[in-house]
Amino acid sequence: MITDKGVSGLLTDGLAMPWLIGNELRRILCMPVLNFLIAFHGIRMGDGWRVYGLPMIQKFRGSRIEIGQRVWIRSWRSSNPLAPNHPVVLATRSSDAEIKIGNDVGLSGTTIVAARSIFIGDRVLIGSNSTVADTDFHPLDWFDRQIDPLNGKSAPIVIEDDVFIGMNCIILKGVRIGRGSVVGAGSVVTQNIPAGRIAAGNPALVVRDLK
């Protein structure tokens, strides 16, 4: 669970990890701009969140983006030792698309793109520079691409509670990752992963049970 340690806790951490102080000062200074950005795009966002660097938001008119409580969004390179190589991206590509993120979720340089729907449960951690996209973006057939290059297939993605996704992973359309499962770093997930499993590889396959 991601917790808020309060001022005293941050000061204590700052003595051991001085770079945290600079990140916190930058975060506080950016809050007015972030609040405007959230309101401008009509994003529903819970309390207790911490955002280190402005996310890139591309919200299709009429679509929905909902973010739960105590969510940490890290876009600055200095906010994570794995150095996110771009801001967190929240993008919807149709008027009926939806992104819903639960409570106590951590995102670091994560790209989330929904043409239909992406649901991320509570206490999910997504490692640095991973991508979750429910669409192929473009048709696979060359002739179809000439007719409508943006008409790629799409299917909803569900990431259940307590999932941990390692860095540099790709989660593709139509996938459900079961509760508590772990996806190894650098994996490409093309099919469902049952609850309580460890999966890794390209394409990701179940390696073993967690217990």
Beta-bridge mates of residue 112 = 90, 132
Residues carrying an active site annotation: 138
Closest CA to 134 of 85, 103, 105, 177: 177
With vertex at residue 25, the alpha carbon angle to CA 21 and CA 28, rounded to the nearest 5 degrees, is 140
Closest CA to 100 of 135, 134, 66, 56: 66
The answer to whether the beta carbons of residues 134 and 175 sit under 8 Å apart is no
Q: In angstroms, rounded to a whole number, what is the distance separating the alpha carbons of residues 88 and 148? A: 28
